[in-house]
Amino acid sequence: MLDSLLSSHGDGRQQPELLTADWGAPWRILQPGLEFKRYPTCGGTHSAAEAAFALRARLQDMGLSAAAIAHIQVSFPPGADTAPYIRRPATGVEARFSLEYVIADALYHGEVPLTHYGERAVDEAVAALAANVERHADPAAPPDALDPELRFHRLTLTLQDGRQLSDVVTRKQTAARPTDLDAKLRAILQLLPGLDGESVIRDCALASPGALPRLIALLN
């Protein structure tokens, strides 16, 4: 059946051997392995947030804060902003999918914790800074749909005095940075009152017979 399908659509140029070439060498579950989201926002905002963290550190070295920023431009491959599509979020949940808000939050607070992205209204100061963010699809970059692994975010700040600061972070750089999973889990568990977070973390190691039943019970 497969041969017939390839023959009908391959115009004589089909190469079925390529379907299994290097099969399982390696399995992607092993290399690069599982990827855990470092931040509680859309994955399409993460390298932009990390560029913003770097620029915030440079501002602080200059003795400046986010108040010194007049304009923010974020550039990326065409189509790389499809997922973080919300430009003016009303709530923290919507802000998870706002490239503008995540950048502004990273610049303003120096972090993007889960507590900033709940059901409450967005932070007015962060929203005001986000209004200064301009998106720009870089026509010189290959479209995101061709290879999302080549995604990047280039952030350029124009300061009130006209000076500019710029930083670029690629998706590959973001993925290569380790994520402290214990710290991430602890931060989440702290938001759940009445739960012994350290006991949950110990159970996650599945070192005792009762660990798995206790974890399953948390899902009920």
Q: Over its length of 220 residues, how does the chain's per-residue pLDDT go in tens digits?
A: 778 888 888 888 888 888 888 888 888 888 777 888 999 999 999 999 999 999 999 999 999 999 999 999 999 999 999 999 999 999 999 999 999 999 999 999 999 999 999 999 999 999 999 999 999 999 999 999 999 999 999 999 999 999 999 999 999 999 999 899 889 999 999 998 888 999 999 999 999 999 999 999 998 8
For residue 210, is it within any domain?
Answer: yes
- Looking at the structure, tell me whether residues 185 and 103 fall in a common domain: no
- Looking at the structure, tell me whether residues 188 and 172 fall in a common domain: no
For residue 1, is it within any domain?
Answer: no
Rounded distance between C-alpha atoms, residue 108 and residue 145, angstroms: 31
> Helix crossing, 197-204 with 211-218: angle to 10°?
120
Given this model, what pLDDT does residue 16 score?
83
Rounded distance between C-alpha atoms, residue 80 and residue 76, angstroms: 6
For residue 9, is it within any domain?
Answer: no
For residue 211, is it within any domain?
Answer: yes
For residue 37, is it within any domain?
Answer: no
Given this model, what pLDDT does residue 117 score?
98
Rounded distance between C-alpha atoms, residue 130 and residue 88, angstroms: 8
Q: How far apart are the first and last CA of the chain?
A: 45
- Looking at the structure, tell me whether residues 63 and 150 fall in a common domain: yes
- Looking at the structure, tell me whether residues 148 and 201 fall in a common domain: no
- Looking at the structure, tell me whether residues 193 and 145 fall in a common domain: no
What is the span of the domain harbouring residue 93?
43-176
- Looking at the structure, tell me whether residues 170 and 213 fall in a common domain: no
Is 44 within 8 Å of 82 (Cβ atoms)? yes
The pTM is what? 0.84
Compute how many other C-beta atoms are within 10 angstroms of the C-beta atom of residue 156.
18
- Looking at the structure, tell me whether residues 137 and 207 fall in a common domain: no
- Looking at the structure, tell me whether residues 99 and 145 fall in a common domain: yes
- Looking at the structure, tell me whether residues 156 and 135 fall in a common domain: yes
Is 169 within 8 Å of 53 (Cβ atoms)? no
Given this model, what pLDDT does residue 1 score?
73
- What is the Cα 29 distance to its own chain's centre? 20
- Looking at the structure, tell me whether residues 63 and 148 fall in a common domain: yes
For residue 116, is it within any domain?
Answer: yes
Which CATH number is 102's domain given? 3.30.1330.120
Element (H, E) at 69: strand 69-76
Compute how many other C-beta atoms are within 10 angstroms of the C-beta atom of residue 193.
5
- Looking at the structure, tell me whether residues 136 and 65 fall in a common domain: yes
For residue 137, is it within any domain?
Answer: yes
- Looking at the structure, tell me whether residues 124 and 202 fall in a common domain: no
Given this model, what pLDDT does residue 118 score?
95
Given this model, what pLDDT does residue 168 score?
99
Rounded distance between C-alpha atoms, residue 214 and residue 219, angstroms: 9
For residue 22, is it within any domain?
Answer: no
Is 48 within 8 Å of 156 (Cβ atoms)? no
Our count of domains for the chain comes to: 2
